[in-house]
């Protein structure tokens, strides 16, 4: 008997090929996708429409084991942080963020992270390993199922952001395949506008974006347009300077209502002055851009502080004077360390 592979590892065409290679009708792929991703059943093998041979193939070749929720931590604002245990015992976090009776799921793509951004809690862990596609999909299915069981009245999980632990473009293949699965019309059929990949500016991944990534949104963690400051915040800026990153981003074809999202972390007395705001406005003006202003979330031992409300509003106003939309991202879940950059699987509150 061949070794089983995870069902959640295969995009639709992989699954069809796998079926074909076992001399089975590839049409069973749609039945399996519908059963598991559209109807979101966890248990395989009760598909009455599958042929006997296909059912046997499923039992013998596909594994439906999911990661486990070790802890679901609910915040007073309805945010839920999951501590997810992977098959080798490593742990990552995913966060369900409520927004107008719907939910966005913030997914992790790596255990730890190699980028070592100076303001980010996850970076202090270093990179342990990449997640597999099945582990990214697994986080979604666990969160979906948790909602179904715990909050059956508000079930809308429709948005995905790759903004949890890890640098998604450093784990390009798995993120690409997971996105293909989320988008596939035989299954979950999420829209491309509902998925956002956030990067610190990892150029080798960006160079593959146009050719390979299926039209989802891109967010760049900008945080400063001033070289020395960005170097200090995001060390990979020394290897992949912002201007080179922008040269690639500017080639991404955008749909009519699609924007590149620029995330800007506001750190007190570091990058939040009127001068910084003007420089950012100059840098981005004329681009199809949305600027997300993120007040810095402190974590144990962090060297930075959150900007004052006054300087956050001043920054927003200056950016808007460049005819750029600037949204202040309200902090969710910070009472349970579930907010951006507070994810660190070694420290639980």
Q: Which residues are catalytic?
A: 93, 340
Q: Which is nearer to ligand SAH, 29 or 267 (CB)?
A: 267
What b/e readout covers 136-164, taking b as 16+ CB neighbours within 10 angstroms?
A: bbbbbbbbbebbeeeeeeeeebebbbbbb
Pairing of strands 156-162, 195-199: parallel
Give the binding range for ligand SAH (CB under 6 A) out of 47-55, 85-93, 132-140, 196-204. 196-204
Question: Of 126, 123, 116, 141, whose CA–CA distance to 64 is shortest?
Answer: 141
What b/e readout covers 110-134, taking b as 16+ CB neighbours within 10 angstroms?
A: bbbbbbbbebbbbbbbebbebbbbb
Q: How far is the CB of 164 from ligand SAH (least distance, A)?
A: 7
Decide: is 297 part of the binding site for ligand SAH (CB under 6 A).
Answer: yes
Distance of CA 117 to the CA centre of its chain: 17
Give the binding range for ligand SAH (CB under 6 A) out of 38-46, 49-57, 80-88, 112-120. 112-120
Decide: is 334 part of the binding site for ligand SAH (CB under 6 A).
Answer: no
Pairing of strands 80-85, 91-99: antiparallel
- Alpha carbon distance 148, 242 (integer Å): 42
Residue 262 in contact with residue 289, Cβ under 8 Å?
Answer: yes
Q: Which is nearer to ligand SAH, 28 or 302 (CB)?
A: 302
Residue 108 in contact with residue 165, Cβ under 8 Å?
Answer: yes
Decide: is 221 part of the binding site for ligand SAH (CB under 6 A).
Answer: yes
Q: How far is the CB of 208 from ligand SAH (least distance, A)?
A: 16
Q: Which is nearer to ligand SAH, 132 or 263 (CB)?
A: 263
Give the binding range for ligand SAH (CB under 6 A) out of 53-61, 77-85, 137-145, 292-300. 292-300
Decide: is 205 part of the binding site for ligand SAH (CB under 6 A).
Answer: no
Q: Which is nearer to ligand SAH, 182 or 299 (CB)?
A: 299
Applying the rule CB under 6 A, the residues between 229 and 248 that interact with ligand SAH are: none
- Alpha carbon distance 340, 163 (integer Å): 7
Instruction: Using CB under 6 A, list all residues that contact ligand SAH.
Output: 115, 119-120, 163, 167, 198-200, 221, 263, 265, 294, 296-297, 299, 340-341
């Amino acid at each position: 008997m061949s070794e089983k592979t995870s069902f959640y590892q295969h995009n639709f065409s992989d699954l069809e090929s796998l079926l074909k290679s076992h001399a089975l009708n590839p049409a069973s792929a749609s039945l399996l996708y519908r059963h598991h991703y559209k109807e979101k059943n966890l248990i395989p093998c009760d598909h009455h429409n599958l042929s006997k041979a296909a059912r046997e193939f499923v039992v013998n070749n596909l594994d439906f084991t999911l990661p486990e929720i070790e802890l679901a931590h609910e915040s007073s604002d309805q945010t839920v942080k999951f501590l997810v245990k992977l098959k080798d015992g490593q742990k990552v976090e995913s966060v369900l963020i409520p927004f107008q009776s719907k939910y966005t799921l913030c997914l992790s793509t790596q255990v730890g992270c190699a980028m070592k951004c100076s303001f980010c809690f996850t970076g202090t862990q270093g990179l342990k390993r990449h997640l597999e596609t099945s582990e990214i999909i697994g986080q979604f299915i666990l969160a979906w199922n948790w909602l179904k069981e715990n909050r059956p009245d508000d079930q809308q999980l429709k948005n995905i952001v790759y903004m949890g632990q890890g640098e998604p473009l450093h784990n390009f293949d798995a993120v690409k395949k997971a996105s293909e699965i989320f988008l596939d019309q035989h299954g979950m059929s999420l829209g491309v506008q509902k998925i956002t990949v956030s990067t610190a500016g990892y150029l080798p991944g960006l160079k593959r974006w146009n050719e390979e990534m299926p039209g989802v949104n891109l967010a760049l963690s900008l945080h400063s347009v001033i070289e020395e400051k960005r170097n200090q915040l995001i060390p990979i800026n020394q290897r992949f300077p912002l201007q080179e990153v922008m040269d690639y981003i500017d080639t991404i074809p955008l749909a009519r209502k699609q924007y590149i999202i620029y995330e800007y972390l506001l750190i007190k007395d570091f990058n939040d002055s009127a001068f910084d705001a003007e420089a950012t406005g100059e840098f981005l003006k004329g681009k199809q851009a949305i600027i997300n202003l993120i007040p810095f979330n402190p974590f144990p031992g962090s060297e930075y502080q959150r900007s004052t409300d006054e300087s956050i509003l001043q920054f927003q106003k200056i950016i808007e004077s460049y005819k750029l939309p600037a949204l202040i991202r309200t902090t969710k879940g910070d009472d349970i360390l579930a907010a951006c950059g507070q994810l660190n699987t070694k420290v639980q509150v």
